Structures are given as C-alpha cells and as structure tokens.
Structure 1
Amino acid sequence: MNLSQLERMKNDNGFIAALDQSGGSTPKALAIYGIPKEAYADEAEMFQKVHEMRSRIMKSPAFTKERILAAILFEKTMDLKVDGKYSADYLWETKGIVPILKVDKGLLDVDNGVQLMKPISDLEALLIRAKDRHIFGTKMRSVIKEANPTGIKAIVEQQFELGKVIVAAGFIPILEPEVDIHTPNKAEAEAILKQEILEYLKTVDASCQVMFKLTIPEVDNFYQEIIAHPNVVRTVALSGGYSREESNKKLAKNPKLIASFSRALTEGLNVNQSDEEFNKMLDESIESIYEASIK
C-alpha cells in the first residue's frame, strides 16, 4: 500500500470523483453528455466514447489535487491510458490524485427489500491486476430499497466479508451500502444500516481499515459515529440522483462527510462544448462540491 496515498485519504481536504459508470449506466451517462446510442455501434465503441469523456475530465486543468482527493475508475478504464500512462498512473503521477477501482459486477434482484451484489468470481485475479496497475483502494455497491432489517443485515455482512478479502490483499475498500433516495421510510432504513455497521465494526481487527460511501442522510450529522470510528479511513457521500445543487446543500449540513459524486459532478458537461466552456463548467462543478465537502 502507498502510505502517502493513505495519509492523503485520511487527512487532506477535497472529495472523490466517481468516474466509474459501468456497462449498465454508461449509455445514460453518454446520453447526458450529448452522445446518443446511435453514435456507437457496439459495446467496444461505447466504452471508447466514455473513456474519451473520462480522459477529458481527468486532463482538464480544473481536475486537480487541490480539490480532488481521489477518483474511482471502472475496470476497463484501469486498463486504458491517458496521455500515454495507464489511468491510475496518470492520476497519481501527473495529477496527485489517488486511484480507486470499482470491483463489483452489478446487483442481484430485490430480495428482502435490498439488492445484494452479484458474486465477484474473479475478485482475486482482479486484485492482482489492480496491484499491477497501482490501484490504492476499491469500491463496491449494493442498494437498500426498504427499511427491512433482514435485508440490511445481509447487505452489511456481504460488504464486510468481501471488504476483509480486499484488505488482506493490501487495499483500502470503500463499502457502499447505498440507501435509495426513494426508499419509503428512508430515515428508518438509515437507522437500521448505521446500527448494523457499528455492530459489525466491533468484530473487525484494529488493523482492518475501510472507507464507507453512504447516501446523504435524512438526519444531519447522522453518521458521525461511523466517520469518527478508528477503523474508518474516510466516509464519503454519493449524490444518489439528487441534482448537484441539492446534493451540495444536503452535504454541507453534514460536517466531515465528503462527496463522492458521479452524476452531480458531470452535470452540465457536453461533448460539443469547447475546451474553454467544458473546463469552466467542470471548474464550477468541482468548486461547488469541494466547498460543500469542507464545511
């Protein structure tokens, strides 16, 4: 593990840019960016288009370590290059931004009010590749749709069990048990989730360091016990479908909870913008998210 990156993640100001749209979410992300499905013939062309979008973001003069701590990459992005360097090396060596890898393979159908992750059958091999590509940490997402104690307990157990494997391989995992923003009784679901996380944290060794990516809570400062826990390197928030303005407003009410936004980060960016227009829009987006993250 790169100790300079660990210290940066623990102590520096900034937020995490989520550039990890998967095969399922990429068409929508490209459409919002101004590239319709008709613009690419197959999956390979689709991923090339989204890599061009991500590269444009990463290479922008607005995308700097002064405001961005880390960036989450999709698996295919890890194996592609930006300005002649593999994406993770470009982020760290050129930009001073910590590279993180999305490792989950998507979601199972809803059961007990939640969507667990699909099995990650190649996790061991993926982590070996990630080490070769100089990745610092990982991220994996599951989703809570109801305040169902059985389902939420199962999500926390799955996240932690996979997290332990990732820690043993030398990475810092981001555990992401997302509470869908449309969940009925969202505050109740968050209360169950927090209790399960805190109970599970009691069972892990002191050397087990993790991060959490959580939906911005209904109750301000709700996750302070998790944020302050000695096993937790950092706790970040997903935008979850809220607009950037709404996400920032909600985030600013939660001190020490920092952003890890995807849609809210890229909102307003368009393939047809000039570099000047693109960089100005991205700079304004990054500044607003940064300000909300350091309040």
Structure 2
Amino acid sequence: MGNHTTVTMFILWGFSSFPELQNLLFAVILLSHVTILLANASIMVAIKLNHSLHTPMYFFLFALSFSETCTTMVILPHMLVDLLSESKAISLPECATQMLFFFGLAANNCFILSAMFYDRYTAIHNPLHYPIFMTRKLCFQLIMASSVLGFSASLCTVIIIFNLSFCNSNIIQHFFCDIEPVVALACNCTFLQKTILLALIISVLIGSFILIMISYIFILSIVAKMPSAKGRYKTFSTCSSHFTVVFIHYGFASFVYLRPKNSDSFKDDTLMAVTYTVLTPLLNPIIYSLRNKDMQTALRKMLGHVIKSFPQMVKRRAQNV
C-alpha cells in the first residue's frame, strides 16, 4: 500500500465549513451517541434476561442492535474528537480500518434485516412448523452469513481503494472515511475500478433489498388470503416495525450511494450521512420498542429490577467502604 501512495495522512474536513455550529453539533451528537448505546444495550439485556424473548425474531433483533452499536462506535467517537480538535487528521491505516469496519457492519445490518423478513415470512407462512424450520442453528448460520457477506464486500472495497495513489489533495470532504469522498482524492482510479466499487455497493444495497421485497411480497400474498380482518391487522402490525426500519435505512443509504454525483454532492452527502450514522441507529431501537408490546413488557421488567436492585447495591458499596 505504501509503494502506491504519496499521501500518508488525511484531513477529515467534515463540518469545518460550519465552525459556528461545531459546539452545538458536539452536544447533539454526544447526547445521541449515549442514547444509542443505552437504548441498544437495554434491548440486548432485556432479550438476554427474558426467556420469553428467546425466539428467532428477537435473536435477530439482538444481533441487529449489537451490529448497530458497533457501527456507531466506529464513527461517532472519532467524530466527537474531531469536533473539538483543530487538526482533524486521520492516518492512512486508520482511514482504511474505519472504512473496512463501517462498510462491513453497515452491509451486515442490511443482510440481518433480510434475515428478519425471512423469519417473519416463515412464521406467517407456516406457523405450526415454524419452530422446526427456524432452529437456533439456522438463525446462527444466517447471522454468520450476513457477517461474511458484509465484510467480504467491505474487504474487497478497501483493497481496491487503498491500492490507489493519493497524490492530489489529502482533504476528505466528509466527517469519516466514506467510500466516494476517499476515491475522489485518488489520481489513478480507472473506470473499471469505479465500476467494481459501484457493483459492490449495489450488490449489498439492492441485493439485500430485493431479498426483503421478495419476503414482503410473499407475506402480502398470505395476508390477502386471510379471512379474518383481526388476523390481517395482527400480521401487519408484526411486520410494520420491520418495514419502517427498512424504509428509513435504505432510503438514506440509497440517496447517498446510488444517486448521480455532481460537484456539490459531497456537501449534501456529509449532511445526509448524519441521518444514517446518527438518526437511523437512534430511531431503530425506539421503533422496535414502541411498536412491540413484548419488548415493552421486557424493558419495564428490566427497569423495575434495576430500580429495586439499586438501593441494595448502594448499601453494599457503603458497607464495603
């Protein structure tokens, strides 16, 4: 990599165009980051402690919450440091590592959402045989396949990009090492390489979205045949939270990665990237919690347990001191 590169350090320009907003952005993003961590951690702990939630649906939700927590950890801490720092520098290996984990985890999220829709289709299509089809082993295999597919696409992307020569500017017009702002700095990126990179992005976004849509179409066809209006409503309510998350996730990602680019695109992408790095991970646990009665019950039980245990913990700590 060093033999092909003359630039060894990048500057993450990001929000430097808005110096008057950086303190406000720091406060908002810090609050959002803490909320994301607490919300996803609460969901994971509630699922872990509540045996009634030890089902495939909540297994996938646990995996999605964990993956989204990791995704934000790759981006937001560095962004917070940059908002308070004047240098905003990131080394070439750090930039490559950040891109590898961000794109890999983001792709993993896409495939987990596909697995969640397949799980809902299986539950609706054949509820009697659902426990036989969706075994713990199959769920684990689907999660592992999501990770392998996601990080394979990410690794191929990083290998292509960081074997280019960065001999022009070293200023990335973004607040993290995203694919297109980094490629824009390369001086020898060929049409073939750009086509391969676009194909990798499309294979993740469009490929996983097609899988989701196939499951959703099958679900709609089953629901349409249900004689009971109550049954149709119950089935739609089970899938509505999933579809809301998919709409937000793919809507923002497609706008950034699949739309045609012009000279002002990176400025728009910087602002839009806040939505899928901060807003989407913040909304997902809220949507799943507010629209799911079982999750609400589990969270209330967990909160009640914490409130009851807190005085005892304080008392034991005081006795030890």
Same-fold call, TM cutoff 0.5: no
- Bigger Cα Rg: 2
- When you count helix as a share of all residues, which structure comes out higher? 2
Q: Considering Cα pairs closer than 8 Å and 6+ residues apart, tell me whether 1 or 2 has the greater RCO.
A: 2
